[in-house]
Amino acid sequence: MQTAYTVLILLMLVGVSRLIGRVVPLPLPLVQIAAGALLAWPTLGLHVALDPELFLFLFLPPLLFSDGWRMPKRELWHLRGPILTLAVGLVLFTVVGAGYFIHWLLPGVPLPVAFALAAVLSPTDAVAVSAISRNRLPTPLMHILQGEALMNDASGLVTFKFALAAAVTGVFSLANASVTFVLVALGGLAVGVALSWLVGRLRAWMIARGWDDPATHVVFMLLLPFAAYVLAERMEVSGILSAVAAGMMQSWLDLLPRQTNTRLLNRSVWSLLEFAFNGLIFLLLGLQLPDIIKAVASHETSLWPTLLYRGLEVVAIFLVLLALRFVWVQSIWRLSVLLRRLRGKGEVTQVPTARSCWLLTVGGVRGAVTLAGVMSVPLLMGGDAFPQRDLLIFIAAGVILLSLIAACIALPILLRGIEASPDDKRRNEVRDAWRKTAEAAIHALEAEEVNPQDAAQSALAAELKARIMSEYRHQLEVFNDSAEAQALAFQMDLLERRLRLKALRAQRLELYSLSRHHQIGDDVLREVLGELDLSEAKLGQVK
């Protein structure tokens, strides 16, 4: 029962922290870390023992699957050059540079373990950056950070596992590791894509036979990242890349026909799951902080001088990571501009500036994946305690905190003077999509031939077609190219939505009244209320 109570308390804290985050001007991860540390205070004394393998299996697959599902694929392809240089090149650059620095700074940490720590410090968290910047980052930079976060989660953690294997076995060959890395990575991608495709085919087969219950399909989606991860690990390829590939593949398979209700439920469930898992990871970091601090200082005679010394080491490692990232971003960006000019591709519009380079540098915030990875470090190595495991977790936790704090301070300063401009390209694409779909609907209705049995039914069919077509013609007016026509149409649309919202809320109140007076049963209440809620959701936010 104690485990159940602990889980319920943590889930409650995840929700409460979100409410506190709306009042306190701090990013949500910092609020959740502070809440976890407060809960672990000796007065309250909540303690959670973590199994490294269970922690890795429970948290990473769904988070990576969700990242792969959510990532805009077109932008990922268009920006593949800078994203790959950051997600692969920068990870290797960081592993080598920071790994040797950590080994030099902490001689007690073996070099393979230092490389493993540098690898697990490489993944970034674009969700935290978006929350801190409040969506004011220029759209291309935000897409680069999102793509990097998606890809370097995989590359960083795969490199981390290679370094851990080298630390445990004591055997490492760069040539063999490079070939194995490619095979493991490609194998993981293939397993994720194949399994996701098979699940999609299974769902299509079920839908064709009328087995389209949304809850059943959503359960399959919840199990898919874990299945992709376990199957890939059993085949000795990358389970991390398998989960990412399964998510990216599933975003295409999500467009199956007759799946409207499943998509609505699926998005809601995954939004809740992602929010809960991210929150739980940061809460667990806060809960582990007292134990991490005690473990780091357990072999020393004095607490505060030891903590101060270790804190300075964390600051030094964070500054080196920041410097390596800035050097890489600046060098690669300038090199890409030079190559573009040498190839004669015309004038270069994206000339690197100090501000843009610093935005990409400070935007490399460490987050949930780094913590989940470092918590998965085994407790034992060859029968003995893993060397400096508590120190590794302490450094990773410190780097996460420092990167969040640095982003909170630096991003608002760097974004000063940059207005949150609307994405004109996306807005135009949305307008064109609505206009073209409305035209297609009108053409389909015009071509529809109804063969009613008598004149009364014929008149009724013509009236219904005219009514539906008028709604689509109204959409065409809303997305007319004329600015004045658009303004008038939007004003009328807003008024109509307000009136419809008022009518829906009156229906809901009457429904509640019928239920209170026992004129309808609970099953009728749920059914009608669900329809009203769906109709209100379609209206969107009405100001």
pLDDT in tens, 276-323: 888 888 888 788 777 777 777 666 667 677 788 888 999 999 999 999
501 compared with 62, residue with greater pLDDT: 62
Q: Provide, for the chain, the percentages of residues in helix, strand and coil under a 3-state DSSP scheme, each rounded to the nearest 5.
A: 80, 0, 20
Strand partners, 385: 380
Nearest to residue 376, comparing CAs of 392, 365, 361?
392
467-485 burial by CB neighbour count: b if 16+ within 10 A, else e?
A: eebeebeebebbbeeeeee
Nearest to residue 394, comparing CAs of 377, 410, 380, 382?
377
User: What's the length of the chain?
Assistant: 543
Decide: 199 and 217 in contact? Cβ < 8 Å: no
**What's the rounded mean pLDDT across residues 442-446?**
74
**Helix, strand or coil for residue 381?**
strand
**What's the rounded mean pLDDT across residues 331-355?**
67
527: Cβ contacts below 8 Å, ≥ 6 apart:
none
Give the H/E segment covering residue 305: helix 303-342
**pLDDT at residue 91 tops 80:** yes
CA 507/CA 467 separation, integer angstroms: 23
Structure token digits, residue 308: 């101060």
CA 337/CA 334 separation, integer angstroms: 5
pTM for this prediction: 0.76
CA separation, residue 113 to residues 50, 81, 167, 307, 391 (Å): 21, 30, 6, 22, 11
**pLDDT at residue 421 tops 60:** no
Confidence at 479, pLDDT banded by 50, 70, 90: low
CB atoms within 10 A of CB 8: 10
Report the range out of 158-167, 487-496, 521-530 with the highest average pLDDT. 158-167
Structure token digits, residue 411: 């991003």
Dihedral sign from CA coordinates of 429, 430, 433, 438? negative
**pLDDT at residue 520 tops 50:** yes
Domain ranges of the chain: 2-421, 432-479, 482-543
Share of the chain above pLDDT 70, in %: 81
Among 120-124, 130-134, 230-234, 420-424, the range scoring the smallest mean pLDDT is: 420-424
- The burial class, CB within 10 Å (0-12 / 13-18 / 19+), for 459 is exposed
Angle at which helices 389-414 and 303-342 pack, to 10 degrees?
60
Decide: 410 and 132 in contact? Cβ < 8 Å: no
Reported as a single tens digit per residue, the pLDDT across 21-41 is: 788 877 787 888 888 888 877
**pLDDT at residue 382 tops 70:** no
Angle at which helices 239-253 and 52-70 pack, to 10 degrees?
30
Structure token digits, residue 223: 């199990």
E strands in 261-390: 380-381, 384-385
263: Cβ contacts below 8 Å, ≥ 6 apart:
254
Query: Under CATH, what is the fold of the domain 2-421?
Result: Na+/H+ antiporter like fold (1.20.1530)
**Helix, strand or coil for residue 484?**
helix
The whole-number pLDDT of residue 347 equals: 44
CA 59/CA 57 separation, integer angstroms: 6
DSSP state of 302: -
Q: Which residue carries 């990409």 as its tokens? A: 360
CA separation, residue 121 to residues 170, 475, 508 (Å): 22, 49, 51
CA distance between the termini of the chain? 46
